[in-house]
Structure 1
Amino acid sequence: MSDGNDNKNNFEPVVVRLDESARNEAQSILYHAYREDPTFQYLFDHRRPGYDQRVRATVRELVDLYFEHEQEAVGVMVDHTLVAVAFVGEPELRLNLAQQLSWRIRMVLTAGFASTRRYLEYHEKIRGLLPQPQAHQLPLMGVDPKYQNRGYGRVLLRAVERLCEDNPRGSGLVLDTGNSRYLPFYESEGFRSLGKIRMGDFEDHVLFRQLSEARPAASAAPS
């Protein structure tokens, strides 16, 4: 990891680009961020034994996939501690997730066939909602629970937006959330709804932001 800001106050959030040396820290943050996520709980059946293992396996395989394909990964550090991470997929990668044969095999072996199938079906539904194919994807983003509600989620999201703006291959950014309490936060950042995906007794929201749009004024972030 490198930030080039060694002289900054250690307690100020610093955006860093992540490499594979941050793999374990990133996996830990994302596991704790997604373990209580309604979408993950539905897709990986939290009522069935082995849920924690399926979440860990899925996070691990996704992180490995994005590093393997040399996708962008950014994080926020506070006092030399990584507190938030995000993986950004180029416009084509998440759309072709079902075609990643080695990834699918690893997922089946670690998360199970049923969970892998549901996960792929879920992403195919997201694909059907996209306004145009050239959109960056934000499949993994999380803040360490110990550091939530301090604005680091907004710092991280804006770093992702700047990263995508510098890449002309995509004109927008797509993300999704099964937690409706985050919707005001994303809306304040200029995201609009593309639609909803029914996930049992709740809905997963698919959101899109055109990167050419002016960023709205900041407000308190939920994480």
Structure 2
Amino acid sequence: MANGSSENNKQQQPVIVRLDETALNEAKSILYQAYRHEPTFQYLFDYRRPGYEKRVRATIRELIGLYFELQQDAIGVMVDDTLVAVAFIGDPELRLNLAEQLSWRMKMVLTAGFASTRRYLDYHQKIREMLPESRFAHQLPLMGVNPKYQNRGYGRELLEAVQRLCSENPAGCGLVLDTGNTRYLQFYESEGFRPLGKIRLGDFEDYVLFREVPGYAATATGG
């Protein structure tokens, strides 16, 4: 953080940080709060059946564990020494296929249940099928802001930091994310994302969105 800020200003400026496993519990809490009311998770993990919150917690725990195990990038926003937002980013060259992660699948079946694991794998495969075939893209499977700190611009700041990080990797053509919450679409469109397609989940649709890394086209063609 820049020096010279007013001593009377108790609100520190947000700082982008890289996360390691010491932030595991905070990241799990933020993402659980962010996703448990999202329609995509409610459909995939069947909120009408008992144990829904347990299944959401288990899925987030196992996904975070997998991304740390695979040494993928994870960043967050710190405010006043508090982690308020996190994002986990899939490397474009990884082309992660969860169906091939046998240890992860076993843990998911044991904690989230077979039906939820199957639904999540099918959903993940449909997203993979929409990715640009001839180019590799980063993926953003998990991103969330602590509800106490929402509507303060931290989500936008985090997403812009994710995109800057992606732009530093010449192997990536852009960034893919998805949402089943239509109120987020305008926000993502304002950040330059465009639709790749939709996935029907029960009585609603999940939107898969893509943004090309600025300058990628020129780099790819040698311009």
Does TM, normalized by the shorter one, top 0.5?
yes
Name the CA distance, whole Å, in 2 between partners of 1:8 and 1:33. Answer: 34
Q: Does 1:27 align with 2:28?
A: yes
> What is the aligned residue count?
210
Deviation readout 1:115-167 (Å, 9 max, x if unpaired)? 00000000111111112350100000000001001100000000000101111
Worse-superposed segment, 165-174 or 35-44 = 165-174
1:217 aligned residue? none
Name the CA distance, whole Å, in 1 between partners of 2:34 and 2:95. Answer: 20
2:37 aligned residue? 36
Task: State how 1:61-210 maps to structure 2 within 5 Å.
Answer: 61-93=62-94, 95-132=96-133, 133-210=135-212
1:206 aligned partner, one-letter code: V
Under a length normalisation based on structure 2, what TM-score does the superposition of the two structures give?
A: 0.90
Structure 1: 5+ residue stretches without partners: 215-223
Name the CA distance, whole Å, in 2 between partners of 1:8 and 1:28. Answer: 33
Instruction: From the CA coordinates, give the structure whose radius of gyration is larger.
Output: 2
1:202 aligned partner, one-letter code: F
**Displacement of 1:8:** 7.4
1:86 aligned partner, one-letter code: A
**Displacement of 1:11:** 2.1
Deviation readout 1:21-67 (Å, 9 max, x if unpaired)? 10000000000000001000000000000000000000000000000
Deviation readout 1:59-81 (Å, 9 max, x if unpaired)? 00000000001100000011110
- With over 3 angstroms needed to count, the CA separation of the structure-2 counterparts of 1:11 and 1:141, relative to structure 1, is same
Identity among equivalent positions (%) equals 74
Q: Report the 3-state secondary structure (helix = DSSP H, G, I; strand = E; otherwise coil) of the residue aligned with 2:185.
A: helix
Name the CA distance, whole Å, in 1 between partners of 2:30 and 2:55. Answer: 16
Q: Say what the alpha-carbon RMSD is for the aligned residues.
A: 1.5
**Displacement of 1:171:** 0.9
Under a length normalisation based on structure 1, what TM-score does the superposition of the two structures give?
A: 0.90
